[in-house]
Structure 1
């Protein structure tokens, strides 16, 4: 085979057809094979069961193969909370001590003694230790300056309620303590402390109301209210009543130790007056100072201590 000079490269081969010599791939001139691009199958790699791969700009794999962490199944609140944890969260004792109390029959759920370890309860269950009801949430106390037009209830069937105003106040299941009519305004307390509710439902809470009537209140009627009324066989006693300074005699201040609101209308309806406006000015030692209408705040420990002393 004769050697050909490199200058003949690309010239016609002389076989006709004006063919040109092509570069031979023999003797190591074959091009390097490249990896065929992967075909897109439309399937996505499972990030949980298969390792994650990292590539550089040229497509070369780099670094170590990492496996995605397994997804942890989140607990469902509807599944409940273990009874010993419920007891521990209430501040009575530790979880280990709670197991001992459960085993000895000191714990009841909805009236039944529970001895089963790992028993689960719901947050709204009646859980009692040695007869005392437990609360797994910290005691919370919210004071609201209620505006007009909101019903004092935790039922959604009543339209706009005071619960809408304190929706972001706490994650605890607070409820209004005491009542104010839909068109009444002023201080309203919310809490999840059932012992507090039971205690002051019996004792009552001193509340001062600013009341506007449809006409001037007669002095003789003011005296009757001050001395105490008996309406439909029930005695209604007030702590204080007086005309409001620098206001018409149709406006009075009435202090009464009662958690309800209808008692005010009962008093004045009995004497022939229509109540035009009711505003709760003070609640125990609490006032509306620095609390605009429609706003709420959390009570401080100092205020709670004052509350206990005043009532």
Structure 2
């Protein structure tokens, strides 16, 4: 509480002004010391706290935030399978947010092509040691994942994207991939014909697009084009016929090739390449 004496002091008297810093000067009139700045600390947004649902929807490009509020209130938006109509509800980037039944993504659609070297697991799990995610860590801030698989010791083209519609489409249809495969021994002509004609392995029908010996190479090296996003299918084909697979290299993926992409390097897809995928 202020005393009567302090309360009666006027500006300019010997009493200190509340909230002001007393300044000192030397004999030449130069200020001594430094003025203290009053700073207001702003609380930074923590991504782990999530973002408001209407902003998430607006960032996906569907509508404005105000329009998103209307859609939320009418029950058109679900989060992880449940209708959310609470204003101000917060979601995280990994949540499954759907607008009118269609999953939406607040990030720009991103497509990265990697020429994978040996020794990297095709997974986004940190429990698998060195993974392909380590190789594309600086490619984008979007939450991309590998589409399709290559074994840890396989090499070649691998695609990454955050486009769920793209993944669903080509998981169902498959993408033609051409592999250069080296076996532990020469592939018999009768076995090459059997693979070309199609056969059953582990109770499943196996069909390939093309298979042939590699030009100017031993008969233990073959080119195999198959419309499949998995990796184990290659070993299923050859090991079922008595061959060990020594080396696997994916040399084309749909319309994409390894041209000008050294091993271990990545690049984003061009608009022209994305248009090619729409024709597959």
Structure 1 CA distance for aligned equivalents of residues 22 and 145 of structure 2: 51
- In structure 2, what is the equivalent of residue 282 of structure 1? 252
- 1:208-219 matched pairs, under 5 angstroms: 208-219=178-189
- 1:7-22 matched pairs, under 5 angstroms: none
Structure 2 CA distance for aligned equivalents of residues 273 and 239 of structure 1: 20
| Higher Cα Rg, which structure | 1
Are the equivalent residues in 2 in contact too, given 1:51–1:67 (CA < 8 A)?
A: no
Choose 221-230 or 69-78, whichever is displaced more.
69-78
SS of alignment partner, residue 181 of structure 2: strand
- In structure 2, what is the equivalent of residue 114 of structure 1? 84
Please state how far the C-alpha of 1:232 moved relative to its aligned partner.
2.1
Structure 2 CA distance for aligned equivalents of residues 76 and 199 of structure 1: 34
Unmatched segments (≥5 aa) in structure 2: 1-18
Name which of 44, 61, 69 aligns with 1:91: 61
Structure 2 CA distance for aligned equivalents of residues 215 and 207 of structure 1: 23
- 1:122-161 matched pairs, under 5 angstroms: 122-161=92-131
- In structure 1, what is the equivalent of residue 272 of structure 2? 302
- 1:17-56 matched pairs, under 5 angstroms: none
Unmatched segments (≥5 aa) in structure 1: 1-48
Are the equivalent residues in 2 in contact too, given 1:52–1:68 (CA < 8 A)?
A: no
Deviations along 1:26-65, one digit per CA (max 9) or x if unpaired, are xxxxxxxxxxxxxxxxxxxxxxx87696967957339x97
Structure 2 CA distance for aligned equivalents of residues 178 and 261 of structure 1: 8
- 1:52-91 matched pairs, under 5 angstroms: 60-61=30-31, 67-91=37-61
Task: Decide whether aligned partners of structure 1 residues 54 and 218 sit closer, same or farther in structure 2, where only a CA change above 3 A counts.
Answer: farther
Task: Decide whether aligned partners of structure 1 residues 69 and 281 sit closer, same or farther in structure 2, where only a CA change above 3 A counts.
Answer: same
SS of alignment partner, residue 180 of structure 1: coil
Please state how far the C-alpha of 1:67 moved relative to its aligned partner.
4.0
Structure 2 CA distance for aligned equivalents of residues 54 and 261 of structure 1: 77
- In structure 2, what is the equivalent of residue 263 of structure 1? 233
Structure 2 CA distance for aligned equivalents of residues 53 and 295 of structure 1: 60
Please state how far the C-alpha of 1:307 moved relative to its aligned partner.
1.5
Deviations along 1:176-219, one digit per CA (max 9) or x if unpaired, are 10000011000000111111111110100100000001111111
SS of alignment partner, residue 136 of structure 1: coil
Which of 1 and 2 has higher RCO (CA within 8 Å, sep 6+)?
Answer: 2
- In structure 2, what is the equivalent of residue 179 of structure 1? 149
- In structure 2, what is the equivalent of residue 220 of structure 1? 190
> TM-score of the superposition, structure 2-length normalised?
0.88
How many pairs align? 261
